[in-house]
Amino acid sequence: DKNIKILAIESSCDETAAAVVENGRSVKSNIISSQIELHKLYGGVVPEIASRKHIEKINYVIREALNEAGETLDSIDAVAVTYGPGLVGALLVGVAEAKAIAFAKNKPLVGVHHIEGHICANYIEHHELEPPFLCLVVSGGHTHLVDVKDYGVYEIIGRTRDDAAGEAFDKVARSIGLGYPGGPKIEALAREGNKEAIKFPRAKVDDAPNDFSFSGLKSSVLNYLNKCEMKGEEVNRADVAASFQEAVVDVLSTHGVEAAKNLGYRKLAIAGGVASNGAFREKIQTRCREAGIAFYHPSPILCTDNAAMIGAAGYYEYMNGARSGWDLNAVPGLKI
């Protein structure tokens, strides 16, 4: 039984990342070059700047990933790359690079879905975790409840009707002057606030218990801020952050655990940038314990964008026989 070593590349948004992953679960290296400091200046990710930075950094992160793993372009078994969803110009950098390496070194090429990567991040630190299980993917662009039926076999059973959870964090952070990226800043400020101070709404979608909606919550925060301003009252930003976070985390945890119960699943995992939020983990973990459901989550560094997760997903796709052709293209709106 040969060990399969995958060189994985991720460039869908604002991190340029490369990793070497063995047999889908063992991370030999995980290099991430973050562009956050650059995009901060503009209050969000600027696609054109992201593409240019990826071009500057991609060879460097790949070299680092290979060096740290003690591998070369010749010793790896396959190249996996995120080809969607994401920013088209950003994705293209990784896809072109992966194709060039695979073509030049005559290695199999495996295109990976970014969300599948987030889900598979859970395999890296939980070697006992195997499908089927339910996964709540909560990132800047996605809020999906995914039924993981088998390796590489997914069904989305719930999704947000409007904003993604991370997007809500980012927008509310901006409205209280916290800047980008909002999630970690809200989490930090929330520690100094009272989560019971303001009662923000917990939205349900009629007749679709697995779906989410966060735009009402976001409006409710903006209305609260406007009301304070009109009345000339000073806003306690820490209370706003804590109460907002509590509302998001409450809805995510309730829906996630209810869906697992309804489907008869005994295993629930979380993934994506928002899964690095400590308050979220604590709450959903507690609810899972009460319901007798095993709970899984990746370390924070494997929750936000990285290439190790693409290596994990790429391995299972590779083992399923998935191979991409030289016509592999970036697909910004790729469906799972």
Q: Omega into 181 within 30° of 0, i.e. cis?
A: yes
* Contact partner, 122, from Zn ion, ligand KG4, none, Cβ < 5-8 Å per class: none
Compare residues 141 and 193 and give the one whose CB is closer to Zn ion.
141
Which residues are registered as beta bridge partners of 16?
33
CA angle 6, 317, 264 (to 5 degrees): 125
Question: Per rule CB under 6 A, is residue 117 in the interface with ligand KG4?
Answer: no
Which residues are registered as beta bridge partners of 7?
20, 79
SS (H, E, C) 170-203: HHHHHHCCCCCCHHHHHHHHHCCCCCCCCCCCCC
* 273, 277, 295 from 138: Cα distances, Å: 7, 10, 15
The one among 16, 139, 160, 253 contacting Zn ion by CB under 5 A: 139
Compare residues 120 and 221 and give the one whose CB is closer to Zn ion.
120
Q: What is the CA radius of gyration of the chain?
A: 20
Stretch that binds Zn ion, among 38-46, 76-84, 250-258, 298-306 (CB under 5 A): 298-306
Compare residues 32 and 58 and give the one whose CB is closer to ligand KG4.
32
The one among 184, 225, 294, 322 contacting ligand KG4 by CB under 6 A: 184
Strands (E), 92-236: 109-113, 133-138, 143-150, 153-159
Question: Per rule CB under 6 A, is residue 304 in the interface with ligand KG4?
Answer: yes
Distance CA 200, CA 248 (A): 9
Q: How many residues bind ligand KG4 (CB under 6 A)?
A: 20
The one among 167, 170, 305, 317 contacting Zn ion by CB under 5 A: 305
Q: Is there a contact between 22 and 51 (Cβ–Cβ < 8 Å)?
A: no
Compare residues 102 and 284 and give the one whose CB is closer to ligand KG4.
284
Give one word for 266, left, alpha or beta, with left for phi > 0 and alpha for psi -120 to 50. alpha
Q: Site residues for ligand KG4, window 122-181 (CB under 6 A)?
A: 139-141, 166-167, 169-170, 181
The one among 65, 79, 102, 274 contacting ligand KG4 by CB under 6 A: 274
Compare residues 27 and 101 and give the one whose CB is closer to ligand KG4.
27
Question: Per rule CB under 6 A, is residue 305 in the interface with ligand KG4?
Answer: yes
Shortest distance in whole angstroms from residue 84 CB to Zn ion: 12
Stretch that binds Zn ion, among 73-81, 97-105, 135-143, 192-200 (CB under 5 A): 135-143
Shortest distance in whole angstroms from residue 290 CB to ligand KG4: 23
* 61, 135, 221 from 297: Cα distances, Å: 26, 10, 29
Question: Per rule CB under 5 A, is residue 163 in the interface with Zn ion?
Answer: no
- According to DSSP, the β-strands at 153-159 and 109-113 are unpaired
What is the binding site for ligand KG4 (CB under 6 A)?
13, 139-141, 166-167, 169-170, 181-184, 187, 272-274, 276-277, 304-305
What is the binding site for Zn ion (CB under 5 A)?
139, 305
